[in-house]
A and B are shown apart, each in its own frame.
Chain A
Amino acid sequence: MKKFKYIAAQLLLCGLIFSGCDKYLDVEPKGKQLLKTTNDFDLWLNSVVLTTETDGNNLMNNMTDNLDVLNINTPPTTLGELVYTWAPQFTTDVGSMTYLWGEHYRRISLFNTVLLGIDAAQGGTASQKNSLKAEALLGRAHSYFYLVNEYAKPYNAATAATDLAVPFVTSDDVSKKAPGRSTAAEIYQHIIDDINEAIPNLPEDNSNARFRGSKAAAYSVLARVYLYRREYTEAQRYAELALASTRAIMIDYTNAATFPATTNVVSHPDAIYGRSSAAAGISISAELKSMFAANDARRTVLYTNWASTVRGATLFYAQAVTNVFSFTNSGTTVQEMHLIAAEGAARANNLATALVHLNEVRRNRYTGTPVTSRDFTSTIQDVVLTEVLAERRRELPFHGLRWFDMRRFDMEDRMPVVTRLNAQNGVIATLEPHSSKYTLQIPIQVIAFNPDMIQNP
């Protein structure tokens, strides 16, 4: 009985004086954990969230002139309809999801977690830590690239120092207040500086997980960045650097036997810096449809109902034709780098180089023997450039880039008026050249928390 009392008393004391029992509470939940080791941060960068950059259906596709949708409510009410008609806001509900903006900052926060924690992580070598840090810098820069192209005016070197872009967030704490909008020049400077800082520490190859960083991935993002700054020489230089340092290769659309097995687009052999996005069942515009030649393999590989002449009946719908291309890659690819290089060369009137890059793409997209019959030739700079831009539109119609291209071309007075027609051919929306609609408004969800933030027109 004495022992009994002793046990009970001990338990009682143990409860009252907690320090003696801390061990009892030292059980970490399974499946959940804090980020402690270098390996934890490595796994963190494997997150499925980082295989995408926008929400599943890349909304920016809906803003392009590649679509023609008949079945539209008047007035537009659904998200897709509001985006399609270039509504200034995609919602009136502050509580709803913040497309684009929220998605990019979500990834920025994940990368910031790495940047803030990696130095103190346990285990791992300095070079492992540096490599992870470099990947995070590249990923964050890539997200800012999207933000600056969505919410700042199309890049204009003359006004960039005063054009407002987006806040530059370096924290991952949801209790902190977000900073105000930086200028386009500042954001671009961050992007370029971060990538340049990252390049020396990035791995040579990312073939196992192409959504993670590599030197080629960094060059390819820089190529994009300079392309949309309309600094074409630099764009061409980085595109060629990317092509030179990547192991990625193009997929030959003319030979089904060479198609990859997986529908995971970030793991396709042509991905340099993979980002998955969905585009299925999109009614394409007559204008886009008219740009395809009869021997263009993409017509049969990616589209259904090509033969139909009914308006809107032809769909971009790989899932129903060639399953493996169910998703589109909004990240960088070999073909995109060739097209950037071709454009840079064409604009510099370096037509031979331009055609080499262009035909490299065409040989994997058009049918016809011999292979050289698929090539495009011209010695007129304008013709070559026009063809390069047309190829770019055919190759990257629903990859989230056409909207950025429209912005860029609008700066060069290359964009006509874009109109939206209902089933009875009545005009329901118009996008005029140099329209302020080319720059998205800051979402009201953001304004609600930052009432002082200056709104775009």
Chain B
Amino acid sequence: MKPGIPRYIHKIWLMMRLTTVILIATIMQVSAAGFAQQITLNKSNTSLEDIIRNLRKQSGYNFVVPGDLLEKAKSVNIRVKDVEFKKVLDEIFESQPITYEINNNTVTLKAKPKTFIQAVLAPFLNITVHGKVVDSLTGNPLAGASVIIKGKKQFTRAGADGSFTLQNVEEDATLVISYIGYRQQEIKSAKELGTIRMAIDVARLDEVAVTINTGYQRIKPEQSTGAVAQIGTKEYESRVSSDFLDGLVNRLPGLMINNSVSLTSTDPTGNKTSRPLFNIRGISTMSANQSPLIVVDGYPTELTLDMIDPNEIKSVTILKDAASATVYGVRASNGVIIIERKQASPGAAQFSFRTTLGLTPEENYSRYRWDPNASAINSEYVRERQTLNITPATWGTLFNTGVGNIGRSIPFFLQSQLAAGIISPAQAESSFAALANYDNLDDYSRLFQRTAATQTSTLNVSGGVPTALYYITANYTGKQNNAILNGNNRFLLTGRTTLKLAKRLSLELTTEYQELRNNGAPIPGASQFAGYERYEDVNGNPAAIISKSYAPVYNSYIMSQGLLDQNYYPLVDANSISDKTRTLNNKTIANFNYDIGKGFNLLFGGVYETSRSEIRHLAAQGSSEVNAWVNNYTVTAGGVFKRNVPDGDFLRQQNTSSNGYTARTQLNYNKRFGNHSINAIAGAELRNVINKGNLASYFGYNDQSLLQQPVDYASIINNLASVRGTLVTGIPLGALNSLFNQTYSEDRFLSGFSNIVYSYKDTYSLSGSIRIDQSNLFGSDPRYKYKPLWSLGAAWNIHREDFMSNVNWLHQLKLRGAFGFNGNVAKLSLPQVIAQAQNNGGNTPTLTSLVLASNANSGLRWEQTENLNMGLDFSIFKNISGSFDYYTKKTTDVMGNSPIDPTLGASSALVNYATIRNNGLEFSLKADWISTRNFNWNTGLVIAKNNSKVLDVARTGRYDPQILDVLGYVSGYPVGAMFSYNTTGLNNEGHPIIVDQNGTSYVVNTSSTGQPLVTAMSSKDSGLVQYSGTTVPSISAGLSNRVDVGNFYFFAMVNYYGGFKVRVPRPTPADNRPLPGAGNYWRVPGDELKTDIPNLTDLGNPNSSWAYLYNSNYVVHGDYITLGDVTASYRLNNLNFIKKAGFKNFEIKAQASNLYTVGFNRYNFSMATGSYGKSYVTPTYTLGLFTNF
């Protein structure tokens, strides 16, 4: 295949150039004609069109004729010789329902206005039209076919028997009859139109307006057997989205996007991950990536979602079940999101410009559920706890290495000074009082917070001729975050062209360029440090956070020895440490389409994506990061003072690039034989992804002069004693590859796929799909080879059956079902050991070595999801449509890292770990309740319910809330299950009391391992640990309403999440920001009547604190609603100055997002606020200008 390609490409270029030349020639021709003001004509019974042609030739005037105007024209009889042009025109148009206007050299024709009498008489002259629409071959009625009066808004749909009636139709009107998949017909109106036979339009079957786009294939909705949901431009753009995913929240049933609720899970090696909900039909995999596959313009993308400009969305389709998603293979087990972007339509250049500004105010900490006496509560608590460990000798030990270099709290130091007699009790009390009286929240807000702002601007131009279309967009988004010095901006340029290269060959070409810049600086969290810690001293200079620094006396000591300040100053670090990321993304998609004929169609094309990013981490001289390293490698002992890491800026620069391509060849077959139709595809794909990266570090760097200082890495990395200091220990530079590194990986995939949809009489459909994936990731083991994934589906269009022909209000009723498998293969686990290269710096000299990457693992099987879907689509009355879906997904042999017998040589291994079942119901409804010329009320409703259950999971270990709550997967319970103790209060010693299922009480007064109660509290069978519900919402619903009144529209979206539980955190004085009442813990007998916060010892001990913190009485319903968006828009199109300025559309939109939320529990706690501590949602206000010109 190699030779020939260049020659071929050359040919295409040649063809394109020829097309351009021909185009230009056509346009030139008109203006090249000469002028003749005296006209000679001799015609009888000639069409007006011919006359105009003739006039144009003679006069040189151009004629502008609006679309259908000439259809109303009568034939012309004229005889003139050398008559003035204008007089000739007057004569011609006198008897026509048409008049004219001359501007410069152009004659513009328009309809004559009706006379008053004509207008009055019109309704009486109008007629009522009857007709019946049927399939030309079978004679079957085409229910739902639309009948539109051309140029008017009047229209109707054919009933179930195909018949229709339209009243008040002008006698000479033209009716346009259309039906999806059939060739459109135009007929003159008449009282009885009789039977209108519609012919199937095979050639345009895949171009009709409403199709289901699977990325590989377009399927007529009535033939589709899979569960899909789609949203179009108008719906999507009702709200202003600055982020592509935002616009999808609760708009598509089955797609769960919720940034406020996270699933926390722990893999058995102890790695805890927490990620916001973004999945389709529940969570059925345990590997890190649970997100759906995202397909843009037909190809899965490896690039960031930021690449998708929300202004360019034409439609978003989600594929939810096996029938629709199997064709994407192993990557589709979490569902697929298909994004189709706007296309150009032929014509003169259309411009559109959009700009928005969104503002989010800074946090209002006074509205938080935090105890106003945070400093007092926390300092008192720490003081009381630390007193137990402090002796008079403690203060003295702080001057020594090993003790002084541990971060401790201010109360600890004060108490140590008091114990050592350095300060008097009175001094100590006044110092503690000073701590209690200061709270750093105001300073925090002033120093680190601001109003967040997001600004976007988009300019778009599109147009072209039918053989060559273009669509070009430039977009800029700038964002500053609430946290100071943090923000990002991005610039996006995309161009799409569609070229018809030859009669049978067309090309779609898309190129995109994006630049992303992200600026970060370390800003502490508001509750990261205790309230009495200061960010600024009284003079306004940066202050050190004591608990994250060395003991002040030890820090003074090492500084007196010539070392740098080892303290942590948040204000200094914020301004001296920065992380800047610059990413460039490029993408090119080229799709050739060759029409072979006889129903065959060959598609070949591909996508090429590159992404390059540069991550610059710069820590300036004086930052805690640089100081710690310099100190660690400063030798002070033995009379020699030497810095082995230079003092100056530190720069770590990381460059990564990713290049990937997907090449696809696909044969489409689309044919109808009588009652049978087949829509089939078969194809193959090659995919290659190369990731590369390099990392370099510079010490003693100066960003201005670009100079750096040499560092003796050999001594540092080889752990030579001569370069290590003895005063500051334990902050080493790390491995050499954390400073300098190269990475490279290449993944190759080869896949074959096929999908066939067969339909009989457009009433019964069957579909089947199959896919085989192969990769180079050691995946050539014969057991993994050639194992296909497949699915089967069927659909029945009930409304097309004869027995339904009398039901006039029903336009569509379709029942569908599908069954199939999605799967997953372990990429890097094999029956043999896999090794990876590594330097061994533990030996001097450093050795090259191979270390274990993956243990030999001969017991793995495929992960498989068995997927069953049943659905019903309906369309009733005038404009109400919707669907029901029921599904079950059972994923068996779910792979996960599971603990294994340590005797086998590893703590964990990839094993077939779990079985998870998901089932649920989905319902969606779209309705135009009222639809008139000036008023439209539209509602969209989406409800999805998902039940998940972990049927089996290979796990052993502690079974208590502390562990289970973050496990994510507990056998016998839904994903995200939560557990509690039934705690009833305190006994008279301040110990919590828990109750088991049988009502037996236990006082939790011990945490000693081996005690029966301690064992029972972590045991599955003791009945002490009780299930409290799931943390993952099982119901999500969205209700959107849009009301259009003239040029104004109003859109509002309400979201509901329910069927889950939340745990209200319990106040504890140990928190930096304690909840109200935290200071009210048990102190003396009798307190148990007033509080359920146990005594201080218990608060610090595992079991008793669990009994308090995991009290089932504080697990409440999590159900909440949010008023997601309120958007108002006004089109100023009718204003004169707007028109004069040349705007076709000028729309102002105002939106408030996240306005209000309420939780349906006794605390009004809604997860939408982000945390229990925050009692409100922070709204975002957006103002936008949308124009077309």
Residues of chain A having any CB pair with chain B under 8 Å: 1, 3-8, 10-12, 14-16, 18, 21-22, 24-35, 40, 43-44, 46-49, 51-52, 71, 75, 77, 82, 87-89, 92-98, 101-102, 105-106, 108-110, 112-113, 117, 166-167, 169, 171-178, 208-211, 259-264, 266-267, 276, 280-281, 304-305, 310, 313, 315, 317, 319-326, 423, 443, 445-446, 448-450
Contact = CB atoms under 8 A, between A and B. Distances in A.
19 contacts: A3-B7, A4-B594, A8-B665, A16-B684, A18-B772, A21-B750, A22-B780, A25-B748, A31-B836, A33-B836, A43-B850, A82-B1009, A93-B958, A95-B899, A102-B907, A174-B909, A175-B909, A310-B397, A323-B722
A31 B726 CA distance: 37
B745 A106 contact: no
Contact of A450 (B722, B903, B906): B903
Contacts of B840: 46-48, 51
Contacts of A106: 902, 905-907
Given A10-B1, A89-B1009, A173-B858, A43 B901 contact: no
A262 B850 contact: no
A6 B594 CA distance: 12
Q: B726, B838, B853: which has the most chain A beta carbons within 10 Å? A: B726
Contacts of B747: 29
Given A75-B1007, A320-B402, 12 more contacts: A4-B8, A7-B4, A29-B776, A46-B840, A48-B843, A95-B958, A169-B903, A173-B858, A264-B719, A321-B726, A323-B726, A449-B903
Contact of B5 (A7, A12, A93, A263): A7
A94 B775 contact: no
Contacts of A71: 389
B485 interface: no
B849 A95 contact: no
Interface in B580-620: 594, 596, 602, 604
Given A16-B684, A18-B750, A305-B400, A31 B906 contact: no
A175 B859 CA distance: 5
Contacts of A27: 746, 748, 776
Nearest to A175: B859
Find the residue from A15, A21, A261, A305 having the highest chain B CB count within 10 A. Answer: A15
B752 interface: yes
Contacts of A261: 720-722, 844
B744 A31 contact: yes
A260 B718 CA distance: 12
Nearest to B963: A93
A77 B718 CA distance: 36
Contacts of A109: 855, 904-906
A260 to B, nearest CB: 8
Contacts of B396: 310
A176 B779 CA distance: 21
Contact of B842 (A24, A34, A51, A305): A51
Contacts of A317: 401-402
Nearest to B1019: A92
Interface string B997-1015: 0000000001111100011
B751 interface: yes
Nearest to B402: A281
Contacts of A30: 744-746
A319 B744 contact: no
A27 B833 CA distance: 18
B721 A95 contact: no
B930 interface: no
Contact of A15 (B391, B750, B909, B1015): B750
* Nearest 8 interchain pairs by C-beta: A15-B684, A109-B905, A175-B859, A324-B721, A46-B849, A94-B957, A102-B902, A449-B901
Contacts of B1008: 75
A172 B683 contact: no
B51 interface: no
Contact of B855 (A101, A172, A178): A172
B842 A266 contact: yes
Interface in B902-921: 902-907, 909, 911
B724 interface: yes
B900 A16 contact: no
B786 interface: yes
Nearest to A3: B4
B844 A31 contact: no
B127 interface: no
Contacts of B1009: 75, 82, 87, 89, 92
A107 to B, nearest CB: 8
A11 B663 contact: yes
Nearest to A268: B844
A362 to B, nearest CB: 24
A5 B595 CA distance: 11
Given A30-B745, A51-B843, A262 B721 contact: yes
Contacts of A167: 903
Nearest to A176: B904
B831 A173 contact: yes
B1179 interface: no
B729 interface: yes
Pick the most buried of B596, B727, B840: most chain A CB atoms within 10 A of its CB: B840
Nearest to A177: B901
Contact of B746 (A15, A29, A117, A266): A29
A20 to B, nearest CB: 10
A237 B1183 CA distance: 89
A46 B850 CA distance: 7
B402 A75 contact: no
Contact of B774 (A8, A25, A211, A446): A25
B776 A28 contact: yes
A94 B956 contact: yes
Contacts of B102: none
Contacts of A34: 778, 830, 832-835
A16 B401 CA distance: 69
B504 to A, nearest CB: 8
B852 interface: yes
Contacts of B1007: 75, 77
Contacts of B268: 95
A276 B842 contact: yes
B1012 to A, nearest CB: 13
B1059 interface: no
A80 to B, nearest CB: 14
B719 A31 contact: no
Nearest to A33: B835
A263 B393 contact: no
A4 B8 CA distance: 7
B842 A48 contact: yes
B593 to A, nearest CB: 11
A316 B747 CA distance: 50
Given A4-B594, A11-B665, A32-B835, A264 B852 contact: no
A29 B745 contact: yes
B774 A174 contact: no
A171 B835 CA distance: 17
Contacts of A28: 776
Contacts of A443: 902
Contact of B856 (A105, A174, A305): A174
A323 B721 contact: yes
Contacts of B772: 18
B750 A25 contact: yes
Nearest to A28: B776
Interface in B814-860: 828, 830-838, 840-845, 847-853, 855-860
B270 interface: yes
A100 to B, nearest CB: 10
B245 interface: no
A303 to B, nearest CB: 11
Contacts of B860: 175
Given A108-B905, A174-B905, A48 B841 contact: yes
Contact of A92 (B780, B849, B958): B958
A32 B776 contact: no
A31 B727 CA distance: 39
